[in-house]
Amino acid sequence: MWMIYLSLALQIIFSIHAIKTGRPFVWVLVMILFSVLGVAGYIIVELLPEWWSSRSGNKVKNAIGKTIDPEKALKAAQKACEQVDTAKNRMNLAEQYLLLHRYQEARDALAPAMTGFYAEDPEMLLGMAKAEFGINNPEAAISLLGKLKAANPQFKSPEGHLLYARALEGAGRIPEAIHEYEALSQYYTTPEPACRLAQIYKTQGKQDRADELFKSVLKRSVNAGKHFNEINKEWVKLAKREVGGN
């Protein structure tokens, strides 16, 4: 019996949807005559293609594509570089390697292109610094970021600033790292710098300062929207754990 009620409910809901959205009236007749099969046909023919081409649909398609072939974009970048070996193509190739955490290959892709005009290109230097940091060479990353800043004083990159702070920390230059994390905490869009700074304070035995930072992350989490909490769930979870939250 419940199947009959469910079928009727679906017919009514999607018939109303078809009328309100200006679909051909024939769909209403199809759903009335063929019940659930008519509803299924309406969804497949009318709704799925529309949804699939929407922004949300594109996100799902991209996610599915990455799941099926996580290296699809990398393969395309490799092919482009093989066809035309330019600095731009090498940069694109390196970006794909970095996304896959294949840092040595990213370094190898960038190195031949960093000559002449591109020797001081900010994006090239930043990409190489990421690669060096990824292969556990923080001092090289610091040097590259210093060169980037000296050659391109107008270039601003919060991502590069965070990388610089992390490289300083990785190199054991803790006072300098603290200084950079403190600056980052004032403007960075995610709570990562605040959490990393709090972890340093905790290691130094400065629990009160660490707790203050972790609590500020939780306060920001409460006031922020769902999107903020979703993309920063790792850091919010860390802050909750550190202050004894759930």
176-230 confidence digits (pLDDT tens) = 999 999 999 999 999 999 999 999 999 999 999 999 999 999 999 988 888 888 8
- Burial label for 227, CB within 10 Å (0-12, 13-18, 19+), is exposed
pLDDT beyond 80 at 49: no
Residue showing tokens 């800043």? 149
Mean pLDDT of 34-60: 68
Q: Specify the pLDDT at position 73.
A: 87
How many CA within 13 A on the CB side of residue 93? Answer: 25
Mean pLDDT of 16-23: 78
SS3 content of the chain, % helix, strand, coil (to 5): 80, 0, 20
pLDDT beyond 60 at 27: yes
Cα 157 versus chain centre, distance: 16
- The backbone torsions φ and ψ at residue 183, rounded to the nearest 5 degrees and listed phi first, read -65, -45
Q: pLDDT higher for 116 or 57? A: 116
Contact between 85 and 102 under an 8 Å Cβ cutoff? The reply is: no
Q: Specify the pLDDT at position 56.
A: 46
State the chain's mean pLDDT as an integer. 87
Give residue 12's pLDDT band: very low, low, confident or very high (50, 70, 90): confident
For the chain, which residues make up each domain, given as ranges?
2-48
* SS3 of residue 244 by DSSP: coil
Contact between 113 and 91 under an 8 Å Cβ cutoff? The reply is: yes
Mean pLDDT of 107-136: 94
Structure confidence by residue, pLDDT tens digits, 130-184: 999 999 999 999 999 999 999 999 999 999 999 999 999 999 999 999 999 999 9
Contact between 221 and 229 under an 8 Å Cβ cutoff? The reply is: yes
The pTM of this model reads 0.72
